[in-house]
Amino acid sequence: MPPAQRHPTMADVAERAGVSTSTVSRTLRGMSTVSPEVRARVEQAARELNFAVSRQAASLVTGRTGNVAVMVPTLQSWFMGAALSSLAPLLRAAGLELNVYVIPDMAARTSFFEHLPARRNADALLVFCFDLNDEETASLDNLGMPVIYVSQHVEGRPSVYVDDVAAAVHGTRHLLNLGHRRIAFLQTIGASGFSFSSQERLLGYQQALTEAGLPLDDDLVVTTEVGDKRGTAEAVGKLLSLREPPTAVFAEQDEVAVAAVWTLRRTQIPVPGHISVLGFDDQPLADWFDLSTVAQSPADIGREAGELALALIHDSDEDHVRHVVLPTHLIPRETTAPPPAPPGDGGRDI
């Protein structure tokens, strides 16, 4: 096969420039032991042959791989999709490639930490939504690269997140301000260690009730799995069977909130006429279902995480314990309203 029909090699550049292959290697890696005249000849030959130095060769000089690794529990969630969709173009514009490690269960997680495939294969690692133990965190500390925690707050490490406690406080206060006093919390459960935000949001709900002088009632906290419509129906059924059912439900995620609304309306319970429902996230389905929710922006979280990764890669003096806290805000829609008037109350305002 003639040279014009195959990818040019370093030997081709050396032949055209009239130098040795090792000289071409030193030149294209930016080493200072090559004279200006020889460097010009080699660079001209490389241009004529459309030869590009490999990323691996360049990394020998810069100490960088040109890759950023991302560790995620899933690629199927709205949050991950939106965050990575904003992160990838930002890194690409900076000349970096994105390597994604999907770790969906504890077996994959154990294997990842046994082998640490990101070691020596990336310039930074972004860890999305993992509640790591001390041993796992220490393993990442020893990677020798910046490790940025995303959608979670890790003390003493760079982190990009929303304040889930404060966000849940604001959401619960919205229901309190409407007049609700029996407010349930619909919590999601999943594989151990993959629900960092869940406990934080529950704490915020409890904090708001305590501030309002209301007792914490364990019967008002029920659990389900995301995507489990039957499980959500059973959880809502537990609430409806209480001696004093709630007049409002705060669901930890929009998907669960929509499933709760569907269950209530299917059983002819008006939303919000009889029970209000509030979600968390502001996924597109929240708008479609006119769901009141506490909104966060995973696109902004992904972008800020990428900016922080670039800063840590390129500036060793950058703050390596920096925390970026992004805002949340309440979006009231059709599914929240004041509670119904108690029987015999004449319909007067509460």
Q: Let me know the angle formed at the C-alpha of 78 by 73 and 82, rounded to the nearest 5 degrees.
A: 95
Name the pTM for this structure.
Answer: 0.77
- Give per-residue pLDDT as tens, 12-61: 888 888 988 778 777 765 566 778 888 888 888 877 777 655 544 444 44
CA distance 350 to 346: 11
- Please state the rounded mean pLDDT for residues 231-238: 94
Is 88 in the same domain as 191?
no
Return the minimum-mean-pLDDT range out of 55-59, 66-70, 112-116: 55-59
Query: How many residues appear in the chain?
Result: 350
Is 276 in the same domain as 287?
yes
First and final C-alpha spacing in the chain: 86
Is 281 in the same domain as 302?
no
- Please state the rounded mean pLDDT for residues 125-131: 88
- SS3 call for 6: coil
Structure confidence at residue 166 (pLDDT):
96
- SS3 call for 249: strand
Structure confidence at residue 215 (pLDDT):
94
Is 134 in the same domain as 283?
no
Collect all residues with Cβ–Cβ distance below 8 Å to 265 and sequence separation of at least 6: 271
Does residue 109 lie within any of the structural domains? yes
The CATH number that applies at residue 86 is 3.40.50.2300
Structure confidence at residue 6 (pLDDT):
59
Is 30 in the same domain as 42?
yes
Domain boundary among 26, 41, 62: 62
Provide the domain limits for residue 214.
164-296
Q: What is the domain count for the chain?
A: 3
Is 172 in the same domain as 279?
yes
CA distance 243 to 245: 6
Is 218 in the same domain as 322?
no
Is 19 in the same domain as 133?
no
In the chain, the percentage of residues whose pLDDT exceeds 70 is: 85
Structure confidence at residue 228 (pLDDT):
80
Whether residue 160 has pLDDT greater than 70? yes
Is 180 in the same domain as 247?
yes
Is 223 in the same domain as 157?
no
Is 117 in the same domain as 48?
no
Whether residue 119 has pLDDT greater than 50? yes
CA distance 9 to 32: 22
Confidence of residue 190 (pLDDT cuts 50, 70, 90): low
Structure confidence at residue 318 (pLDDT):
58
Is 177 in the same domain as 273?
yes
User: Tokens 């294997």, residue?
Assistant: 111
- Give per-residue pLDDT as tens, 254-284: 999 999 999 999 999 999 999 999 999 999 9
Does residue 349 lie within any of the structural domains? no
Structure confidence at residue 39 (pLDDT):
84
Does residue 337 lie within any of the structural domains? no
Does residue 340 lie within any of the structural domains? no
273 DSSP assignment = T
Domain boundary among 41, 62, 83: 62
The CATH number that applies at residue 42 is 1.10.260.40
Domain boundary among 296, 317, 339: 296
User: Tokens 């000849």, residue?
Assistant: 41
